[in-house]
């Protein structure tokens, strides 16, 4: 598959500046990457770009988007992304969020989903579904990195990243992403206590796609999350962990395309 030509543009949205990667033509697809930003150069983006205008912003503090001092949580990102949707005059847009990006998409949708036609959340964080002592989302900050990889991938070998092959600029982005993710999601851990009480406001048809072997956010968590969104559907992908769109791309793309058609 030919690689779709990508353009990078920085948008000034109020006092915030974010870098956005765009490719393809057609129906707009606002793609909100996970905290590791593994999606940006994956071949499935080229597949999507065949019939979508794919728009991939980096949140403040991630990638090459600067983070203002006043920017403190995931909810802040949602407002900036809504500003981006307005600036780009998005209509009838598919919004797809992965992991942290899924949480951002949910925060956006409870505020304004008028420009959305479909909402797809994959391995999303953002809510607490169990009791106060239940571990709904695995704690990645206390586990050894090898265990974190095993939580995220059905085949841990696919989650290994060769940091020795990265240049200083690339390594700086990786380190910055980790630091910013911790800043936004440390306390309360990986959720907004108010979000679950707002999910009923979502009127856009929603699909939750989960990996059956997700050790970060279990399928049971995903089903409970989906149950908080009116009319939302849930589907699980076999032999996939936290990133089914990367690990079992064919099965993911079938579920995705069937839903957004």
Segment 27-44 shows an average pLDDT of: 95
Does position 192 have pLDDT exceeding 70, yes or no? Answer: yes
State the Cα–Cα distance between residues 53 and 60, nearest whole angstrom: 22
Does position 247 have pLDDT exceeding 90, yes or no? Answer: yes
pLDDT at 204 (0 to 100): 98
Asked if the 7-260 domain carries CATH number 3.40.50.970, the reply is no
Segment 133-141 shows an average pLDDT of: 93
pLDDT at 244 (0 to 100): 98
| pLDDT, tens digit (0-9, with 9 covering 90-100), for 44-79 | 999 999 999 999 999 999 999 999 999 999 999 999
Yes or no: say if 138 and 221 are a contact pair by the CB < 8 Å rule: no
Does position 1 have pLDDT exceeding 80, yes or no? Answer: no
What is the domain partition of the chain in residue ranges? Answer: 7-260
Mean pLDDT over all residues of the chain? 96
Percent of the chain with pLDDT over 90: 95
| pLDDT, tens digit (0-9, with 9 covering 90-100), for 195-236 | 999 999 999 999 999 999 999 999 999 999 999 999 999 999
pLDDT at 22 (0 to 100): 97
């Amino acid at each position: 598959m030919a690689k779709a030509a990508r353009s990078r543009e920085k948008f000034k949205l109020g006092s915030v500046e974010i870098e956005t990667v765009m490719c393809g033509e057609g129906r707009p697809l606002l793609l909100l990457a996970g905290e590791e930003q593994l999606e940006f150069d994956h071949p499935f983006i080229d597949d999507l770009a065949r019939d979508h205008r794919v728009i991939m912003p980096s949140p403040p503090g991630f990638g090459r988007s600067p983070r203002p001092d006043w920017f403190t949580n995931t909810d802040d990102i949602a407002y900036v992304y809504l500003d981006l949707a307005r600036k780009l005059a998005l209509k009838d847009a598919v919004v797809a969020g992965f992991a942290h990006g899924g949480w951002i998409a949910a925060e956006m949708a409870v505020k304004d989903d008028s420009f959305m036609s479909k909402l797809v959340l994959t391995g999303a964080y953002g809510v607490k579904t169990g009791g106060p002592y239940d571990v709904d989302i695995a704690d990645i900050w206390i586990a050894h990195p090898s265990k974190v990889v095993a939580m995220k991938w059905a085949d841990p070998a696919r989650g290994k990243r060769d940091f020795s092959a990265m240049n200083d600029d690339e390594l700086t982005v990786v380190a910055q992403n980790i630091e910013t993710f911790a800043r936004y999601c440390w306390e309360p851990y990986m959720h907004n206590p108010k979000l679950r009480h707002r999910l009923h406001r979502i009127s856009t048809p929603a699909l939750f796609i989960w990996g059956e072997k997700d050790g970060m956010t279990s399928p049971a968590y995903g089903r409970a999350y989906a149950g908080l969104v009116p009319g939302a559907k849930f589907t699980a992908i076999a032999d996939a962990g936290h990133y089914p769109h990367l690990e079992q791309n064919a099965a993911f793309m079938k579920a995705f395309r069937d839903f957004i058609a």
